[in-house]
Structure 1
Amino acid sequence: MTDSTDGEAIRAPEGPADIIDTDFEIGQNNVQLFGLDIHNPVFAISGLSVVAFVIVTMAFQNTIGPVFTGLRDFLTSNFDWFFLLAGNVFVLVCLGLIISPLGRVRIGGRDATPDYGYAGWFSMLFAAGMGIGLMFYGVSEPITHYSTSFGGVTLENGLRTDWAPLGGAEGDAAAAHALGMAATIFHWGLHPWAIYAIVGLSLALFAYNKGLPLTVRSMFYPIFGERIWGWPGHVIDILAVFATLFGLATSLGIGAQQANAGLNYLFGIEIGVTAQIILIALITCAALVSVLRGLDGGVKILSEINLGLAALLVLFIIIAGPTTTLFADLFHNVSAYATELIPLSNPFGREDANFSQGWTAFYWAWWISWSPFVGMFIARVSRGRSVREFLTCVLLIPTAVSILWMTILGGTALDQLVVNGFTGAQDAALELKLFEMLTQLPFTWIASLLSIILVIVFFVTSSDSGSLVIDTITAGGKVDAPVAQRVFWASFEGLVAIALLIGGGLGALQAMAVSTGFPFAIVLLLACYALVRGLMDEPRD
């Protein structure tokens, strides 16, 4: 293979060409041990570090909580500008590729055809991307932003929400509504999906067009050349494993908290860490069953089921809720998002530092830490798409779905508060706000049960596809590594989530997402350059 610094095109390496189905031998150093296919030192360092983390967190659970909280606050307070700036770069790169001639490049080559139809492809994108988060924050974030920008000051589970409105006078309900929805959509719209798209497109390009292993290090061949097979590549892959694992643990912990809250509402099951640990253990076991069934028999089927259930919940709320208001709010919210996008994206000279630090910096770090997981999963199912088609679907369509979701769930809760004076969703804990909103609609019990099922199935698909991605990274890019390795990673995803819940709850979960997201943000900024460089060598349809 030529070094990218000599100006020649990046070509497949000498040796086996189809690295997806065969061993990729150059620099991979895979070891067969106890029936496992281990890529040293990535598997060894990652696995041992995770085991040590779980043991230490469990052993010092009474004292480690403040350490996690302090770490989160330090990173978000001092580097919020960096997270916001990086997020803006990712969006601009994606939009630039969509409109540029490079958008005609096809993933897998000119003759490649898609492996999945649009229905199956999009359902997997949505379920893997942010399903648990949408369920958890769909009601809580719009109503919290409305309350705080309307003049209130609260502190919920470590999320600082005492921020001043960017537009409109304090006490202006209409301005508070518009800004609250704009801020919510900002966190779930273009920016997070741009992060996923950069990683997914980079992995797909270098695996399916360049013949490199499907692992994070391959994205950096234009920068490091053959050195990606050495320690520079090992460090990148290890960082990707840590980011993925702790990003997943954050989502799994949040999912357990919301499922616990829903079960308490329906069946009186006590809310607490013990119940959440049991939930994580049971759902992890369900994820292991999905792991054993494989991608098509597990994640794909569950993702399609989840998409159907999510559509059913949304349709029910539209019909049972303030239908006319929701349709009117949809257009107002899109307008508010467009109006406030630049002020909310501004990384410098902010007057609402508590918002950018307590919300946006955490979100961007969370999305970045999830990006190896979601990006690799998207790459696995996106062969045959053009770059323009890929970016349009991965970036713009999920953003539209997120706007619709937040408008319906959050808009319903806001209507209940503003029009009917119902304060239950406003006053409840974050994990209970969704269920409080549903109490004001008919068939509350059925809708709440459906919501719990959605959270659980999102939990299973995230754990299953996350273990698939981590296993691929630690096996040196192989996608057919022994199932036992995926079982190992799926099990430890649950154990890490349990350890963080015991060691500090939501604050600990947030802390590890931010601490792994920060170094990986630097990695992804380098990946933007490598991606453009790699696309420039490709033929265009």
Structure 2
Amino acid sequence: MTKPQEPKNPSDGDKPAGEGIRRPDGPTALIDTDYVIGQDNISTRAMGLDLDLHGKVFTISALVILVFVFLTLALQNQVEPIFNGVRDWLTGNLTWVFLSGANIFVLVCLGLIFSPLGRVRIGGPGAKPDYTYFGWFAMLFAAGMGIGLVFYGVAEPMTHFGTSLAGTTTGPDGVRTDWAPLNGAAGNEAGAMSLGMAATIFHWGLHPWAAYSLVGLALAIFAYNKGLPLTIRSVFYPILGERVWGWPGHCIDILAVFSTLFGLATSLGLGASQASAGLHYLFGIPNTNVTMTLLIVAITIVALVSVLSGLDKGVQRLSMINMVMAFLLLGFIIVVGPTMMIATDFFTNIGSYLHYLPALSMPFGREDANFSQGWTAFYWAWWISWSPFVGMFIARVSRGRTVREFLLSVLLVPTLVSVLWMTAFGETAIHQQIASGFQGVQDAALELKLFAMLGQMPLATITSVLGIILVIVFFVTSSDSGSLVIDSITAGGKVDAPTTQRVFWCLIEGAIAIALLLGGGLGALQAAAVSTGLPFTIVLLVGCYALVKGLMSEPRPSKKAKA
């Protein structure tokens, strides 16, 4: 397996700074300037440490993050209401922005798939894929949704099923107080299951992967086809021109760093809380902030080892281990659980998802405020805050794919796997309640619902331990993948920056997760994701236009040629 061909960095190679930028031959190259982004880089060796970083982006990002971590840890009691207030205000007033933006991302992806632009090949007409489909899918899936699927695989279907079955309630002012999606399905178990699974799949299907796809595709096209650095600012060259190398570009990259760090911290915090809850459930280990902090520290150390091993040896190997363990657990649930119900409802749930999709996607006139604001708006902000990280990671491993192949694969394959995962785990738990009246899963806290469900099945201890290990390995995969990506952004688009910088960002990710957990728990994690996801939603909407403009200048094979 060969290492993916990285875009030529303007400040690398045999040309000194200021002599020009290496760029692909032909009319599609966008760069016609002598400016070198590497001129802003600080390259030095001090105290045995190699450094090669973008001075402005790295310095501002690092200082702001370090101040945030310090203040959050120093003022734990005072910051919790602030985090909760920020989350509630943003989701309460700007839910329509998140929902509208996510809908536009899906429509843009579909438009590109069916347009002639879908025949454009990442890396140029003669480029060949660097990874097999299995290796490619493993890396993009593990990086994109790993921890979330384990955390919410049982919790979300059961929650939506329960709230839908309970129906709607209103307060004295006539405003709904329930958490049911849409209008619920009061007293109708079949209807509640259909609506609950549709709402779950909605949050894990086309919309989040559309955001990932657009960022990944834009970065890949502008890096591999246009010769620009592999950093978020490059996407905006068609709009900003040479200004992309100045402060407008610096601000875009800094925002991408914040978005990635807080999106990662949200996932790492959720993973730590579930692993801690699982250890308490199985072995009686205290489920406290101390336990979660120690877990984050220990797993961050493991992530450091993976970071130092690099993309091929570290991230890809762990991603494949993730996939194997995840499908072992999934296969166990399918075989031991209600197999026929899972097999038939896989297709039924896809139909329910498509049926309810227009209503669930509606950004205006919603009566289910708790669901659309507390669930959907948070999810869209979380996915969008992850998009720089997942998008850049996917871009690095997607050279040689056509636009159509890229979008179909990144949109449909993870969506179908998510449908299967949620159907297997969610409906097994729902079946336990309907068939035997077991209320343990419904009554358990979110982070314990998985273990409560596994506790009613054979080999409960073994599968629960496997679930904890899966969370931990997904934790490591997300952390080391994120470190590689953030390091690339803060190094001006370099993909081979010194490992010292990757170590720094890996440690920072763990520190942010600890600070947020201690400074407000789940509310703080959600507030961080929402507050960084909002501005990046606007950035992505503008980036859609830049992507289409860039693709239109690319050569496309004829319809008779293989796309």
Query: Structure 2: which 5+ runs fail to align?
Result: 1-9, 11-25, 170-175, 558-563
Distance apart, 1:266 and its partner CA: 1.9
Mapped to 1, the partners of 2:480 and 2:200 lie a distance apart of 28
Mapped to 1, the partners of 2:140 and 2:422 lie a distance apart of 18
Runs of 4+ with >4 A deviation = none
Look up the equivalent residue of 1:190 and give its one-letter code: L
Give the conservation status (yes or no) of the 8 Å contact 1:10–1:222: no
Matches for 1:362-511 after TM superposition, within 5 Å: 362-511=378-527
Please give the per-residue CA displacement for 1:245-267, whole angstroms capped at 9, x wherever unaligned. Answer: 00000000000001111111222
1:13 to 19, 22, 31: 31
Distance apart, 1:167 and its partner CA: 5.6
Distance apart, 1:13 and its partner CA: 2.5
Check if 1:88 corresponds to 2:103. yes
Mapped to 1, the partners of 2:406 and 2:389 lie a distance apart of 17
**SS in structure 2 of the partner of residue 419 of structure 1:** helix
Check if 1:304 corresponds to 2:315. no
1:46 to 48, 61, 75: 61
Query: Once structures 1 and 2 are overlaid, which stretch shifts more, 87-96 or 165-174?
Result: 165-174
Matches for 1:221-236 after TM superposition, within 5 Å: 221-236=237-252
Check if 1:99 corresponds to 2:110. no
Alignment-derived partner of residue 77 in structure 1: 92
Alignment-derived partner of residue 325 in structure 1: 341
Distance apart, 1:449 and its partner CA: 0.8
Distance apart, 1:25 and its partner CA: 2.6
Mapped to 2, the partners of 1:352 and 1:268 lie a distance apart of 39
Please give the per-residue CA displacement for 1:401-430, whole angstroms capped at 9, x wherever unaligned. Answer: 000000000010011111111111110000
Please give the per-residue CA displacement for 1:246-302, whole angstroms capped at 9, x wherever unaligned. Answer: 000000000000111111122211101110000000000000000111000101000
Give the conservation status (yes or no) of the 8 Å contact 2:163–2:184: no
Query: Structure 1: which 5+ runs fail to align?
Result: 2-7, 17-23, 155-159
Give the conservation status (yes or no) of the 8 Å contact 1:127–1:462: yes
Look up the equivalent residue of 2:148 and give its one-letter code: G
Check if 1:25 corresponds to 2:36. yes
Mapped to 1, the partners of 2:552 and 2:363 lie a distance apart of 30
Mapped to 1, the partners of 2:55 and 2:243 lie a distance apart of 16
Mapped to 2, the partners of 1:274 and 1:152 lie a distance apart of 39
**SS in structure 2 of the partner of residue 112 of structure 1:** coil
Mapped to 1, the partners of 2:304 and 2:116 lie a distance apart of 43
What TM-score results when the alignment is normalised by the length of structure 2?
0.91
Distance apart, 1:26 and its partner CA: 4.0
1:119 to 134, 159, 173: 134
Mapped to 1, the partners of 2:536 and 2:39 lie a distance apart of 22
After superposition, the Cα gap between the structure-2 partners of 1:31 and 1:348, relative to the gap in structure 1 and judged at 3 Å, is same
Give the conservation status (yes or no) of the 8 Å contact 2:166–2:184: no
Mapped to 1, the partners of 2:33 and 2:484 lie a distance apart of 25
Mapped to 2, the partners of 1:28 and 1:529 lie a distance apart of 29
Alignment-derived partner of residue 6 in structure 2: none
Look up the equivalent residue of 1:112 and give its one-letter code: A
Mapped to 2, the partners of 1:327 and 1:235 lie a distance apart of 48
After superposition, the Cα gap between the structure-2 partners of 1:39 and 1:168, relative to the gap in structure 1 and judged at 3 Å, is closer
Alignment-derived partner of residue 524 in structure 1: 540
Mapped to 2, the partners of 1:161 and 1:398 lie a distance apart of 34
**SS in structure 1 of the partner of residue 520 of structure 2:** helix
Matches for 1:221-260 after TM superposition, within 5 Å: 221-260=237-276
Mapped to 1, the partners of 2:370 and 2:183 lie a distance apart of 16
Mapped to 2, the partners of 1:219 and 1:490 lie a distance apart of 25
Mapped to 1, the partners of 2:347 and 2:159 lie a distance apart of 21
Query: Once structures 1 and 2 are overlaid, which stretch shifts more, 167-176 or 463-472?
Result: 167-176
Mapped to 2, the partners of 1:494 and 1:375 lie a distance apart of 21
Matches for 1:125-164 after TM superposition, within 5 Å: 125-151=140-166, 162-164=178-180
Mapped to 2, the partners of 1:153 and 1:283 lie a distance apart of 42
Percent identical: 68
**SS in structure 1 of the partner of residue 471 of structure 2:** helix
**SS in structure 2 of the partner of residue 384 of structure 1:** coil
After superposition, the Cα gap between the structure-2 partners of 1:164 and 1:444, relative to the gap in structure 1 and judged at 3 Å, is closer
Alignment-derived partner of residue 352 in structure 1: 368
1:67 to 74, 82, 90: 82
Give the conservation status (yes or no) of the 8 Å contact 1:165–1:176: no
After superposition, the Cα gap between the structure-2 partners of 1:165 and 1:482, relative to the gap in structure 1 and judged at 3 Å, is closer
Mapped to 2, the partners of 1:311 and 1:517 lie a distance apart of 30
Alignment-derived partner of residue 4 in structure 1: none
Give the conservation status (yes or no) of the 8 Å contact 1:161–1:358: no
**SS in structure 2 of the partner of residue 479 of structure 1:** coil
Distance apart, 1:169 and its partner CA: 4.5
Give the conservation status (yes or no) of the 8 Å contact 1:94–1:198: yes
Mapped to 2, the partners of 1:197 and 1:45 lie a distance apart of 28
Alignment-derived partner of residue 193 in structure 2: 177
Give the conservation status (yes or no) of the 8 Å contact 1:27–1:230: no
Give the conservation status (yes or no) of the 8 Å contact 2:166–2:185: no
Look up the equivalent residue of 1:378 and give its one-letter code: I
Mapped to 2, the partners of 1:372 and 1:166 lie a distance apart of 31
Query: Once structures 1 and 2 are overlaid, which stretch shifts more, 30-39 or 528-537?
Result: 30-39
**SS in structure 2 of the partner of residue 63 of structure 1:** helix
Give the conservation status (yes or no) of the 8 Å contact 1:167–1:179: no
Look up the equivalent residue of 1:519 and give its one-letter code: P
Check if 1:280 corresponds to 2:296. yes
Distance apart, 1:153 and its partner CA: 8.1
Mapped to 2, the partners of 1:27 and 1:82 lie a distance apart of 36
Look up the equivalent residue of 2:85 and give its one-letter code: G
Look up the equivalent residue of 1:421 and give its one-letter code: G
Considering only aligned residues, what root-mean-square deviation do their CA atoms show, in Å?
1.7
Mapped to 1, the partners of 2:423 and 2:262 lie a distance apart of 29
**SS in structure 1 of the partner of residue 555 of structure 2:** coil
Mapped to 1, the partners of 2:114 and 2:435 lie a distance apart of 43
